[in-house]
Amino acid sequence: MTAELLEQLSRQTFETILLVGGPVLLVSLVIGIGISLFQAVTQLQEMTIAFIPKIIAVFATVFFALPWIINVMVTFTRSIIENIPTYIR
């Protein structure tokens, strides 16, 4: 395995990680900032106010993005398996 091949494989792995985890993390970030602003404006410092909407938003994001996430992961896994002979050389 050459250094270029390892670099390409690492880049592809990190891109897949960002593609799969990015939407869920982004939704969680946006909801968290929105809830924090709401709590700062209303001076409500209850922990469940921040926790429950984030869980619901993350669950909904995973539910709706799951077919796309599975497609990305299957494509990545298929490319890894198909390129095993290249990696061995």
Question: Rounded distance, CA 34 to CA 29, Å?
Answer: 9
Question: Rounded distance, CA 8 to CA 83, Å?
Answer: 12
Among 20, 15, 29, 1, which residue's Cα sits nearest to residue 73?
20
Question: Rounded distance, CA 79 to CA 12, Å?
Answer: 10
- Give just the sign of the alpha carbon dihedral 46, 51, 56, 61: positive
**pLDDT value of residue 70:** 96
20-68, pLDDT tens digit by residue?
999 999 999 999 999 989 988 988 878 778 888 899 999 999 999 999 9
Q: What is the pTM of this model?
A: 0.78
